Amino acid sequence: MRPKWVGAGAGRRDGEEKNMSYTVAKGNQRVDPDQVAEADKIPAGVVDLRSDTVTRPTAEMRRAMAEAEVGDDVYGEDPTVNRLEKRAAEIFGKEAALFVPTGCMGNLIGIKVWTHHGDEVICEERSHVNLYELASMSAIAGCMPRVARGEDGILTWKQIESVIRPKIYYDSQTALVCLENTSNMAGGTVYPTALVEDICDHAHAAGLKVHLDGARIFNAATALGDNVAHMTRKVDSVMFCLSKGLGAPVGSMIAGTKAFIEKGRVYRKMFGGGMRQAGVIAAAGLIALEKSPARLHIDQENAKRLAEGIAEIPGLTIDPKKVCSNIVIFDCSKTGKTAVELCDALYPHGVWAQETALHAVRFVTHCDVDRAGVERALVVLKKVVATKQHGEAARGGSLG
């Protein structure tokens, strides 16, 4: 069933209805939080492949959160947050780092620090800052995205150079290049480090800054067999998430020079991200940062297995050779069904996925999905596709 659109939307013009959903995603179903019982839990046996944001904190994280030493972080007095920021800066080889509530806020801070109202930010057409951050670079930072399309989501300097604005007073000016590694909507593709450095060298020569949306930078490092300090040494700022593949319950980091972080701290407060006894969540972030990168290869092996299994299912299209991190996006157009319809058919059988385009379905592997879950997802997917191709009711019966 296609999600119902609810709510007219705050701030709409009088008499103008906006088809805006204020509900949240559960599987492919959008669920009104007010209608979910407090005791409602994900049923046992569900393989939740919607995103790597759905992970639960480990027992070690929960203990650390309960026992965290805390203070007022707005005053700079939370010792656990301070340790997390210091450790993040060390791991990335940067002068300083800042704990922020979300990756979206971290990217917005980076954009705001490096730009002025009226500037343009060059980014890949399918990048997160362009598609999934509510146009905050325009609404809040006062900038416009200037998009280029890279092969498999990966930009080259030539593609970037072609959309730089000329230095003339009546044109808006290019100020920043924003890269995304891994490239989410391109299927978790990875920037080679040499390419990032080439882009940085040329951008700096042209007077531009480079911000890296490294939400899944540790997945990229795992794919490359590289380390994040080397991979990011030439970017001017980097954001990475603790709450995706690293498995923390909340939080992201930005890192750069001390001057960048000093300005970033001001904007974090301005954007509503000043937290008080934030050591309670930073404690889980410290464990995620120290321990989770070592297990990401498991998620990426599981993603490769998913891709290989999907490639064997008639009606589904994917190139397993392009799957190098923990994101798997496949085409379902040959089934005769949309991505929403396929996700809806999978949902009642305990396999949760997310549509990313009309005929594109995304699976994301993570620490809460093991190899058995991957194999179960493939069995269910194969049976659902076969059932729908034969025109039978996909929702009835058990698929095992």
Summarised one tens digit per residue, pLDDT across range 326-382 is 999 999 999 999 999 999 999 999 999 999 999 999 999 999 999 999 999 999 999
pLDDT value, residue 398: 31
Question: Contact at 8 Å (CB) between 276 and 108?
Answer: no
Question: Contact at 8 Å (CB) between 348 and 34?
Answer: no
More confident residue, 3 or 251: 251
Give the integer Cα–Cα distance in Å for 57 and 368: 10
Cβ partners under 8 Å of residue 148, min gap 6: 122, 123, 124, 125, 155, 159, 160, 162, 163
How many CA atoms lie less than 13 Å away from 230 in the CB half-sphere? Answer: 10
Give the integer Cα–Cα distance in Å for 249 and 288: 9
Phi and psi, residue 78, nearest 5°: -90, 110
Give the integer Cα–Cα distance in Å for 383 and 394: 9
Summarised one tens digit per residue, pLDDT across range 139-166 is 999 999 999 999 999 999 999 999 999 9
Summarised one tens digit per residue, pLDDT across range 124-145 is 999 999 999 999 999 999 999 9
3-state helix, strand, coil in the chain (%, to 5): 40, 15, 40
pTM, two decimals, is: 0.89
Give the integer Cα–Cα distance in Å for 188 and 216: 9
> What is the average per-residue pLDDT within 198-215?
98
Tokens of 21: 């959903």
